[in-house]
Structure 1
Amino acid sequence: MTVPAVASFTPKGPFSLASSIRFLEGFTPASHGHAAGDVLRMAFPADDGRGVIGCTVSQAETASAGAAGAGAPAPVTAEFTVHRGTGPAAHSAARAQIARILSLDVDGTGYPALGGSDPVVAGLQADYPGLRPPCFYTPYEAAAWAVIGNRVRRTQAAAIKARLARDHGRAVDVGGARLHTFPTPEVLRTIDHVTGLTSTKVERLHAIADAAFDGRLDAATLRAEPAESALRALRELPGIGPFSAELILIRGAGHPDIFPTAEPRVHQSMATEYALDAATAADPARLAAIADAWRPYRSWVALLLRARAHDRAAAQARI
């Protein structure tokens, strides 16, 4: 029997669930796009790799979650159900996972101050008030997405991922909607054929499932290690290169302070926003030196730069 539970989060520093929802509407890989008004619905494998969680997330209306960080942001409420897992330990683990997915496990009280010394950051914070990185549900799911999406169009990869959830994930009722979770590792490792994927990619997905069971994709462990050590270990997984390793650590494990050296869209956005010369724009080391001023929120600023680049491209496409 599943027992519903409620968790309340008091954000430390600016946070806007509405901003997260707007970002997720254009971020198909995470498959978060189940919003009704200002309520976010999610269904996903639990961190233990066996259970699944369904939850709705809401935040009271507030004018205090903006870039300037004035006042206290409104509390965030998650109503959730753990399937195949009961008791205080399962609920505590679910609460921690939900917080990580929304980057509410990070103390962001010092984040607004970055804008005081960097006009570019100040502009980004003003344009995307309260936006923290919404993460993949687990590093495991981020790694699976990296394998599925390698060298195929994002829309095609998203369709394959959604089909895997529909055909092999668990269906759960969340806030009046029927959602399908991505397959748990124990299910994924048994799938021998996936329409749209090569046999090599299916084998790599099996390796990702095995790594999740072995603890090599545990979010807390990855974040506790020195970043380069964690990235090196991730690159040892089949099909995971530098770009994918950073994706898993930043957007899977929710590491708040990594500059993505293998993310050209972030680099191009930096070049535009900081009016960099061509030599600087093409040198990741020089870009990383600029990003040092964003510590300890380098991942957060990088996400805003990516959001800005996405919005600029969308605006150009409408012309």
Structure 2
Amino acid sequence: MSTFTLTAKGPFSLAPSLAFLEGFTPASYQPGSDPALKLAFPIEGSWQTVGVRVREHAGGVRGEVLSPQPSEKKLTEAVRAQVARILSLDVDGSGFPDVGRRDKVVAGLQQRYPGLRPVCFYSPYEAAAWAIIGHRIRIRQAAAIKTRMAEQLGEPVSFGDDTVHAFPAPQRLAELQAFPGLSGRKPEWLRALAHGALEGRLDAARLRALPAEQALATLKELPGIGDFSAELVLLRGAGDPDRVPHHEPRLARAVAVAYGLPATPSDDELEQLSENWRPYRTWVCLLLRAHLEDVTGEISGTGPHAGR
């Protein structure tokens, strides 16, 4: 079995990542008795489906490539890099505690969620597909459709005690004509997205290397990807660690709740406040999102403000 290790620079714990995934509706993650993270996804570039089991390891995590077997060194290195991005272990977080020293609200959130870093979609491609699937429907309805697509169109990966279905690789979606629950132009948009992924237009490293505004403009060239979706793909798909999403409708409310503000902040006020969060603005936004969900339950649909 091929294995690899990832060492965290700065605070990190796998346990909060598991807990976050359990409550992250798009992931549809089902925990088991084994305190390990079971990942099945198409690897960027080759788009071959892989299965990886990730466990806490001294100062980071240890990954085991369960599928395919045997795994060539080149594939294992690609898996390692993708898992690092998924868990935000490709970012040096040693300066993150400094943000809490500058901002007492962030310090409180860091204490409440110790070691939590953003858990990204498996790829910008999958993040963009989620954005298209979820366009103008409720989040739980979109998650159900995404799960069925994985089960019917994706490849299964055995973890011994259970089977995880990967989201279908772009080669499969490139041929999609229709799927139950996908209305309007969504099948067409998903086909275009799949072709874009195969052409390298959604490569995570490429998107991260571009200036943020250029990356967002590039993403919006894809059919069905607007302002909100482009930010989702860049921040939660490519894993950009330092950007405030300007089109996330719940962020201002999350800030108001965490900071005890009498009203939601304006865009300018939010920008000014977020200066103290650099260079981890995306990470702080995640902590704010987690806090909002704990307080209101509105993201999962369990609270009085529930809804998409």
CA pair 223-84 structure 1, distance change in 2 beyond 3 A: farther
Q: Counterparts of 1:23-42 in structure 2 under 5 Å?
A: 23-42=20-39
Q: What amino acid is aligned across from residue 224 of structure 2 in structure 1? A: G
Residues of 2 paired with 1:14 and 1:219: CA distance? 24
3-state SS of the aligned residue for 1:25?
A: helix
Q: Could you say which residue in structure 1 is the equivalent of 2:293?
A: 310
Given that residues 136 and 142 in structure 1 are in contact (C-alpha distance below 8 angstroms), is that contact kept between their aligned partners in structure 2? yes
**Counterpart check, 1:134 vs 2:119:** yes
Q: What amino acid is aligned across from residue 190 of structure 1 in structure 2? A: E
Residues of 2 paired with 1:175 and 1:84: CA distance? 14
Following superposition, the deviation at residue 130 of structure 1 comes to: 0.3
* Counterpart among 28, 40, 44 of residue 43 in structure 1: 40
CA pair 165-84 structure 1, distance change in 2 beyond 3 A: farther
Q: Counterparts of 1:285-300 in structure 2 under 5 Å?
A: 285-300=268-283
* Counterpart among 40, 45, 51 of residue 54 in structure 1: 51
Given that residues 255 and 265 in structure 2 are in contact (C-alpha distance below 8 angstroms), is that contact kept between their aligned partners in structure 1? no
Q: Could you say which residue in structure 2 is the equivalent of 1:258?
A: 243
Question: Alpha carbon RMSD of aligned pairs, Å?
Answer: 1.9
3-state SS of the aligned residue for 2:201?
A: coil
* Counterpart among 219, 224, 231 of residue 239 in structure 1: 224
* Counterpart among 92, 97, 114 of residue 112 in structure 1: 97
Following superposition, the deviation at residue 175 of structure 1 comes to: 4.6
Q: Could you say which residue in structure 2 is the equivalent of 1:159?
A: 144
Residues of 2 paired with 1:303 and 1:78: CA distance? 24
* Counterpart among 143, 154, 169 of residue 169 in structure 1: 154
3-state SS of the aligned residue for 1:290?
A: helix
Given that residues 50 and 84 in structure 1 are in contact (C-alpha distance below 8 angstroms), is that contact kept between their aligned partners in structure 2? no
CA pair 32-101 structure 1, distance change in 2 beyond 3 A: farther
Q: Deviations over 1:67-95 (max 9, x none)?
A: xxxxxx63311111353995222111111
- TM-score with structure 2 length normalisation? 0.93
Q: Could you say which residue in structure 1 is the equivalent of 2:175?
A: 190
Following superposition, the deviation at residue 272 of structure 1 comes to: 2.2
Residues of 2 paired with 1:9 and 1:286: CA distance? 37
* Counterpart among 169, 191, 206 of residue 206 in structure 1: 191
Q: Which consecutive unaligned segments of at least 5 residues does structure 1 have?
A: 61-72
Residues of 2 paired with 1:43 and 1:36: CA distance? 18
Residue range with higher mean Cα deviation, 165-174 or 80-89: 80-89
Q: What amino acid is aligned across from residue 49 of structure 2 in structure 1? A: V
Q: Which consecutive unaligned segments of at least 5 residues does structure 2 have?
A: none
Residues of 2 paired with 1:285 and 1:187: CA distance? 43
- TM-score with structure 1 length normalisation? 0.90
Residues of 2 paired with 1:149 and 1:94: CA distance? 27
Identity %: 50
Following superposition, the deviation at residue 313 of structure 1 comes to: 1.0
Given that residues 19 and 129 in structure 1 are in contact (C-alpha distance below 8 angstroms), is that contact kept between their aligned partners in structure 2? yes
Residues of 1 paired with 2:68 and 2:227: CA distance? 34
Given that residues 51 and 82 in structure 1 are in contact (C-alpha distance below 8 angstroms), is that contact kept between their aligned partners in structure 2? no
Structure 1 residue ranges (4+ consecutive) displaced by more than 4 angstroms after TM superposition: none
Q: What amino acid is aligned across from residue 4 of structure 2 in structure 1? A: A
Given that residues 52 and 63 in structure 2 are in contact (C-alpha distance below 8 angstroms), is that contact kept between their aligned partners in structure 1? yes
CA pair 35-301 structure 1, distance change in 2 beyond 3 A: farther
Following superposition, the deviation at residue 162 of structure 1 comes to: 0.6
User: How many residue pairs are counted as aligned between the two chains?
Assistant: 301
Given that residues 52 and 84 in structure 1 are in contact (C-alpha distance below 8 angstroms), is that contact kept between their aligned partners in structure 2? no
Q: What amino acid is aligned across from residue 168 of structure 1 in structure 2? A: L
Q: Deviations over 1:161-219 (max 9, x none)?
A: 01101111001112532111110000111121100112410000001101101111000
* Counterpart among 120, 129, 138 of residue 144 in structure 1: 129
Q: Deviations over 1:3-28 (max 9, x none)?
A: x3111111101111100011111102
Given that residues 120 and 274 in structure 1 are in contact (C-alpha distance below 8 angstroms), is that contact kept between their aligned partners in structure 2? yes
Given that residues 34 and 42 in structure 1 are in contact (C-alpha distance below 8 angstroms), is that contact kept between their aligned partners in structure 2? no
* Counterpart among 57, 64, 89 of residue 74 in structure 2: 89
Given that residues 172 and 178 in structure 1 are in contact (C-alpha distance below 8 angstroms), is that contact kept between their aligned partners in structure 2? yes
